[in-house]
Amino acid sequence: MMRIGKAAGWAAFGLAAVSSVLVALVSYRFLPLGVEGAMDFMAHHLDGNALALYGHIGVAPIALAVMPFQFLSGLRARRPAVHRWLGRLYVAAILVSGLSGLQLAFYTTAGSFAGTGFALLAVIWLGTTGAALVFALRRQFARHRFWMLRSAALTFAAVTLRVYLGILTGLGVEFETAYQLVAWLAWVPNALVMEAYLWTERQRKGALTQARPQLS
């Protein structure tokens, strides 16, 4: 049973890792196509807000592509310097794209409901990543890992946004309505699922700690 659970966990991680890297690569379609051709719903930001737009769409994919590699235990053990440098790149990418995304949220034409969703995502994304960095610098690695997982769940919103947007528009929901919904759907379920996972992990570790004296 444990082997099945471990295999399922690795399969889920592999799917998340591959989808993250693929979405990150596809995100750069605006380079050959232009913003108007690749993501016309973002093109209005080119008028007076272009720096924030390119700061977000150009840098956020870096964080998305780097994120899965930070959870490879073999890489951390055998190449700790690579893990640290990738971590710095991840934090720097989120700092730039998170601040840019926060500014874009205030200028979205999708309405205040969507703008609030994207703004909260940017703030919590920056906060969880900052906490992960602080605990890494303090060498409190267990707490660093928990906050990195929270950060990763929000980074993965770049993938789930596209999934939910595709599902909603495929069901016949108008794009404008679907876009407002995914401003929340893209990240709130991710955050809740991650909190549930972290809670069960804490419970499991607590149970093991209590059981050890009885086994000795």
Phi, psi torsion values for 75, nearest 5 degrees: -65, -40
Q: Residue 87's CB: how many other CB atoms inside 10 A?
A: 20
In the chain, alpha helices (H): 2-26, 30-38, 50-66, 73-78, 80-106, 112-137, 141-155, 157-170, 175-185, 188-215
So what's the pLDDT on residue 42?
94
Residues 179, 181, 184, 187: is their CA dihedral positive or negative? negative
Nearest to 59 by CA among 94, 104, 19: 94
Flag residues of the chain having pLDDT under 50: 2, 215-216
The pair of three-digit structure tokens given for residue 115, joined into one six-digit string? 């703008």
How far does CA 39 lie from the centroid of its chain? 20
